[in-house]
Amino acid sequence: MKITRTNALKGTVSVPGDKSISHRSVMLGSIADGITEVHHFLQGADCLSSIACFRQMGIHIENDGNIVRIHGQGLHGLKSPSDVLDTGNSGTTTRLMSGILSGQNFECVINGDASIQSRPMKRIITPLSMMGASIESLRGNDCAPLKITGQKLHGIHYDSPVSSAQVKSAILLAGLYAEGETSVTEPVLSRNHTELMLKGCGGDITSVGTTATLRPVKRLEAQKIVVPGDISSAAYFMAAGLIVPSSEICIENVGINPTRDGMIRVCQAMGGDIKLENVHEVCGEPVADIIVRHSSLHGTVVEGEIIPTLIDELPIIAVMAAFAEGQTIIRDAAELKVKESDRIAVMSENLTAMGVDVTPTDDGMIINGGKMPHGAQIQSHLDHRIAMSFAVAALASEGETEIIGSDCVNISYPTFYRDLFQLAK
C-alpha cells in the first residue's frame, strides 16, 4: 500500500462493530440457552476465528455478513472438537475460550498462528490452574499450543498482577463452571464488556471498584446484542482528523465505555477539538457520535491508570505525538511488547524511518514532535494496528509512504483503507 499526503479529510464514517464485544457475543451466545442475535458484528479475521472454533464444538452459527445468529446449547452443550481449535491471530479467542474449556468434560488443543504461538499464556494458565484446570503448554514455553483437559473447578479470589480484560474474562468464564464464588481484583479496572454481557444474559455478577465477583448460575439466557462501533477502530479517524489540516470528521455510533475511552481523554489533553454528540445507551454500553476537527496538538504524558483504557490505541497516539509540538512521554505500557508485535520496538523503528525523534524505553517511548515527518517504507510486522497507524501518519507527511504487509488490517477492519481514503479531499 502506497499513500501520499492529502489536503483534508471531510465527511462521516461508520466504523465496524467493537471487536471485544463481538468475540464475547459468540462465546456467551454459544453457552446460553436459545438463539442469540448479534447486529453489527465485526466481520474481521479475529472474530471469525471465534465463530469457527465454536462451530467446531457443535454450535450452529449463522452469519449473513452483518447479523450473526448463535444457536446456544447451554452451559454444558459444547461437544469435543475433532481437530485442533485454530484461533488464528486472536489472543482474545485463545485466552477467553481457555476459561470456558477448562470446565468442560472433554480434552482439546488450542493453537494459532506464529504470533499466537509467541504470546504469553502463563497469565491465564496460573489462575485457571489455581481453579483446578488442567492446561499444558505443549512446547513447555507457556505459549500455545495449549492442551486443555476439562476438570471440575472451584472458585478462587485472584489478585491479578496485570490489568487485562483477557485475564479477568478467562477467570470469570471459568467461574461459570466452578463450585463457589469466583472473583478477580485488578490493579486498575480493565475493559468490562464481559461483566456487562454476563449481566445481560442472566449471570450473577457484581463489580465493586476493581473487583468483579461471579457466582455460578444454572443457565444463561440468549439475548439480542447490538454491537457499537469499535473505539479502537475509531481512534485512527480521530487522529487523522486532528493531524490532517482543514479536516472535520463525524464518526457515528462509537462505543464510549469509560473503561475504553482513554483515547478521547488523551486527544483532549493534547489540545484536540473532539466533541461527543447523540450520547445514548445500547445493550448496556454507552454510545455516541464523535466529531473531530483539525487542531494544533501539544505533547502530553500518558501513564498510570489511563493505560488499560487505551492499550490498543497507543500506536496511533504515538503517531499523534509525532505531529504535536513538544514532548510526549508514554510509560507504564510494557504490555505493548507482547501484543501482535513488540509495539514499542516496531513503532520506534518506523517513526525513526519517518524522521521522528523517538526514544524507546522499557515501558513505552519518548517522542519529540514538531518536525514534519516524511514518507518512508514501513514494516507492519503483520500487526494491524501498526499498519493503520502509519496509514494515518502518511496522510499528513511529506512524500510517499509504503506500508509492507498492509493487508493485515483484515484482522480487525477489512474496509479500513476504503473508509479512510473516501474522506480525502
Query: Which residues are designated catalytic?
Result: 312
Q: Is 326 exposed, middle or buried (0-12, 13-18, 19+ CB in 10 A)?
A: middle
Output DSSP code: residue 339: S
Please name the helix (run of DSSP H) or strand (run of DSSP E) that holds residue 95, with its range, or none: helix 91-101
Cα–Cα distance, 342 to 120 (Å, whole number): 12
Report the Cα 139 to chain-centroid distance in Å.
Answer: 27
DSSP labels, 122-184: HHHHHHHHHTT-EEEETTSSSSSSEEEE---EE--EEE-SS--HHHHHHHHHHHTTEES-EEE
Sequence-distant contacts of 265-269: CB under 8 A, at least 24 apart: 265/306, 265/309, 266/300, 266/302, 266/306, 266/310, 266/313, 266/317, 267/238, 267/239, 267/242, 267/292, 267/320, 269/300
Whole-angstrom CA distances from 85 to 112, 134, 251, 292 are 8, 17, 36, 41
Please report, for residues 237, 251, 259, 302, 390, the alpha-carbon distance to residue 310 in angstroms, rounded to integers and kept in the order given.
15, 18, 9, 10, 18
Give how far Cα 47 sits from Cα of 50, 174, 269, Å. Answer: 5, 20, 33
